[in-house]
Amino acid sequence: MVSTFDRLHGRKTRFFFFELGDGNRPIENFSSSALVQQEPDASSFPSGGIRNTFEARGYTAWDPTSPAFIMESTSGKTLCIPTIFVSYTGETLDYKAPLLKALNELDQAAVPVCQYFDKNVTKVHATLGIEQEYFLIDIAMFNARPDIETTGRTVFGHIPAKGQQLEDHYFGSIPARAYAFMVEFEIEAFKLGIPLKTRHNEVAPSQFECAPVFEEINLAVDHNQLLMDVMDKVARRHNFKVLLHEKPYAGINGSGKHNNWSLTTNTGKNLLSPGNSPKTNLQFLTFFVNIIRAVYEHGDLMRASIASASNDHRLGANEAPPAIMSIFLGSQLSEVLDEIEKTVAKDKLSPEEKTQIKLNIGRIPEILLDNTDRNRTSPFAFTGNKFEFRAVGSSANSSSAMLVLNTIVANQLKEFAKEVDAMIAKDVKKDEAIMKVLRKYIVESKAIRFEGNGYSDEWVKEAKKRGLSNFTTTPPALDAYISKKSKELFKRNNIFTERELEARHDILLETYTKKIQIESRIVGTLSLNHIIPTAIKYQSDLINNVAGLKSLGLLADSYKTQLDIIKEISEHVLVIKEKTDSMVNERRLANKVDDAREKAIAYCDKVKPHFDEIRYHVDKLELLIDDTYWPLPKYREMLTVR
Ligand code: ADP
Ligand code: MG
């Protein structure tokens, strides 16, 4: 038996279960300590300057809360062990360690709050159900598109005659070939313990979605990471490629990874599901309002947590959640909060007022039963018994968003308990103290609540008036990670030190720069080596044709169209060449910038705008040039799954 052993985060520490024994005879030997901690050479792991290559050491440590599993492939089996990854000096380098820390803080913060209502609660854990959207593309098309191959998206391509305007894909039946792929990856997923539950078509042609039953967050994140890998492997067997990019095709809906999130107690209570007594409903309201305030206080950090070069294409693209953070509650819960704001206003509540408030709160479950309103335009929506963070990108590791969400909620709950306890110490009754603090939060965090259309221009204006940020691109969105407020938040809650945050910020900027740099190179290569030569070749054909017609002595009318096209091609080719040169020049300038943030901004503001300008002319050429000459598969072909 030859087995290999891999770690989910400390990638590719691989060895055999053999050692040399007496007389150099191989013996099978495998000690458990090897599983618990390892020291991989991880010099190429991005560390944001935390480690130099000469001190490349880092440590991986087993995360026993996420089960080990065996990955099977045709060539062997690999034992995989979910691990955290820290540097030699103890700084976290991965996403798992800070997520685990955040979940621990959340537990610590939520239990005392639960105990205001139920002394039996001794543990609170967060739950997560991740909806995963993706596109399928035939492998042959994929291989013929260097842009998708290197960047995950098409940098050129004219919108097809029939895109998604009929919206007939969503409710249509799943194409047989896609179905076969789904069934197989579902089986492979089950073997690894991933509890997939649903599959369906999405809005765009050749776009699909799957979702598992929710799990404890750490597990749900590991399972989603694994799922993406499994999907990719299985797709190859079906001659498909899975596209997890947030926006593979311009003008066609993008993909997200909706993070359905809630909190559960050891007593089995979903804290975001109203109960059937005023007491449990007050508990529901407590968590509900605290979450709203947490998002209000740290909306910018939430935005930063989902920022990436690829998600920039989707956020605010009039089909995905906007880049402005807001919360959708539904009209009925909004009314409940408004009611509390009105009734709890006075310093001292009269007995009648108290009864009225209790009555109102007691009615919540009824209200929720017919609370069917949904808002697809909100980045963070309450959906009955959970919040749905919809703005997370389809290719993202959910840890990033989840460690932020759980940290801000933990921080908020601690603050809440402090305020309530201070009032109780001054002889205010517990329920009244809770109501008063909640009311204060409701008033303070009003600006983050938005029930309207998040895609509208009015919302952009309104949000500005409310003082909400609207970061449409990644580099400025990432600033929130290193603001004074965030640094204090992460430090206070033992998630990140300042040094770790700065390092992470640097890595994210660097990744952004590299992504745009790669896209820019592919735009340049395709323009100069594929598109322009093709255009010139076809143009030469036309010129020969015109020359031929002329030599026959035919009238100018007989080659007028050809001349027009010849001219048009020249015009487009000229602009493509000029813009490509200008883009390359901007890249050169950007590369001279030392500061990581300034460099990312240069790539964002100076290099990237060329992409669409060049694309416009390439897409025009696509419409002009003989189809048999065109070097790239077209949208119509790529978007059809047969
Ligand atoms: P909808 O389609 O209304 O969004 P679903 O029931 O299909 O809701 O759920 C979508 C995802 O939300 C699934 O992955 C599901 O497991 C998850 N989910 C449901 N309840 C919870 C919960 N309490 N905590 C976390 N995720 C949940
Ligand atoms: Mg959903």
Residue 278 CB neighbour total at 10 angstroms:
18
| Percent with pLDDT over 70 in the chain | 89
Do residues 432 and 355 touch, judged by C-beta distance below 8 A?
Answer: no
Q: Which residues have a Cβ under 8 Å from the Cβ of 172 and sit 6 or more positions away?
A: 201
Model pLDDT, residue 8: 41
- Of ligand 1's listed atoms, the one at least distance from the Cα of 214 is 16
Residue 76 CB neighbour total at 10 angstroms:
11
CA distance linking residue 461 with residue 484, whole number of Å: 27
Model pLDDT, residue 369: 62
From the CA of 129, how far away is ligand 2's center (Å)? 9
pLDDT of 3 higher than 50 = no
Do residues 7 and 81 touch, judged by C-beta distance below 8 A?
Answer: yes
pLDDT class for 4, splitting at 50, 70, 90?
very low
| Residue owning the nearest CA to atom 13 of ligand 1 | 129
Ligand whose nearest atom lies closest to the CA of 213: 1
Amino acid occupying residue 65: T
Q: Which residues have a Cβ under 8 Å from the Cβ of 505 and sit 6 or more positions away?
A: 48, 478, 481, 482
Kindly tell me the burial class for residue 372, based on how many C-beta atoms sit within 10 Å of its own C-beta (0-12, 13-18, 19 or more): exposed
Model pLDDT, residue 61: 83
CA distance linking residue 467 with residue 446, whole number of Å: 11
Model pLDDT, residue 73: 79
For the Cβ of 315 lying below 6 angstroms from any atom of ligand 1, the answer is no
- The mean pLDDT value for 28-36 works out to 68
From the CA of 139, how far away is ligand 2's center (Å)? 30
Between residues 471 and 47, which one has the greater pLDDT? 471
Amino acid occupying residue 429: K
For the Cβ of 249 lying below 6 angstroms from any atom of ligand 1, the answer is no
- Of ligand 1's listed atoms, the one at least distance from the Cα of 130 is 14
From the CA of 230, how far away is ligand 1's center (Å)? 22
**Domains assigned to the chain:** 2-92 (3.10.20), 95-131+256-496 (no CATH), 133-255 (3.30.590.10), 512-638 (1.20.120.1560)
From the CA of 274, how far away is ligand 2's center (Å)? 19
pTM given for the model? 0.92
- Of ligand 1's listed atoms, the one at least distance from the Cα of 211 is 14
Ligand whose nearest atom lies closest to the CA of 387: 1
Model pLDDT, residue 75: 80
Do residues 151 and 280 touch, judged by C-beta distance below 8 A?
Answer: no
Tokens of 100: 């685990």
What is the average pLDDT score of the chain?
Answer: 89
From the CA of 258, how far away is ligand 2's center (Å)? 7
In this structure, of 35-44, 306-315, 623-632, the range with the lowest mean pLDDT score is 35-44
pLDDT class for 450, splitting at 50, 70, 90?
very high
Rounded to the nearest 5 degrees, what angle is found at the Cα of 260, between the Cα atoms of 258 and 264?
A: 165
For the Cβ of 214 lying below 6 angstroms from any atom of ligand 1, the answer is yes
CA distance linking residue 558 with residue 125, whole number of Å: 77
Tell me the per-residue pLDDT of 332-348, one tens digit each, with 9 for 90 and over. 889 889 988 888 766 67
Tell me the per-residue pLDDT of 88-117, one tens digit each, with 9 for 90 and over. 777 888 899 999 999 999 999 999 999 999
Number of C-alpha atoms within 13 angstroms, CB side, residue 354?
12
Model pLDDT, residue 35: 67
Kindly tell me the burial class for residue 418, based on how many C-beta atoms sit within 10 Å of its own C-beta (0-12, 13-18, 19 or more): exposed
Tokens of 590: 């950007």
Residue 110 CB neighbour total at 10 angstroms:
26
Between residues 23 and 622, which one has the greater pLDDT? 622
Tell me the per-residue pLDDT of 220-269, one tens digit each, with 9 for 90 and over. 999 999 999 999 999 999 999 999 999 999 999 999 999 999 999 999 99
Model pLDDT, residue 34: 66
Model pLDDT, residue 275: 77
Tokens of 379: 């980045």
Q: What is the CA radius of gyration of the chain?
A: 28
For the Cβ of 259 lying below 6 angstroms from any atom of ligand 1, the answer is no
Model pLDDT, residue 464: 94
Model pLDDT, residue 350: 76
CA distance linking residue 425 with residue 421, whole number of Å: 6
pLDDT of 15 higher than 50 = no
Model pLDDT, residue 16: 55
Do residues 310 and 152 touch, judged by C-beta distance below 8 A?
Answer: yes
For the Cβ of 383 lying below 6 angstroms from any atom of ligand 1, the answer is yes
Region label for 517, one of left (φ > 0), alpha (ψ between -120 and 50) or beta (otherwise): alpha
From the CA of 579, how far away is ligand 2's center (Å)? 42
pLDDT of 615 higher than 80 = yes
* Dihedral angle of Cα 290, 361, 390, 411, to the nearest 10 degrees: 10
pLDDT of 400 higher than 70 = yes
CA distance linking residue 109 with residue 508, whole number of Å: 29
pLDDT of 56 higher than 80 = no
From the CA of 234, how far away is ligand 1's center (Å)? 25
Model pLDDT, residue 165: 67
- The mean pLDDT value for 367-396 works out to 84
pLDDT of 42 higher than 70 = no
pLDDT of 28 higher than 90 = no
pLDDT class for 40, splitting at 50, 70, 90?
low
In this structure, of 13-27, 355-369, 539-553, the range with the lowest mean pLDDT score is 13-27
- Ligand 1 pocket: which of 131, 197, 257, 260 to mutate (most atoms within 8 A of CB): 260
For the Cβ of 375 lying below 6 angstroms from any atom of ligand 1, the answer is no
Q: Which of 581, 396, 409 is nearest to 474 (CA)?
A: 396
Model pLDDT, residue 346: 64
Tokens 């460690």, residue?
Answer: 403
For the Cβ of 385 lying below 6 angstroms from any atom of ligand 1, the answer is yes
Tokens of 306: 């989902």
pLDDT of 585 higher than 90 = yes
Model pLDDT, residue 371: 56
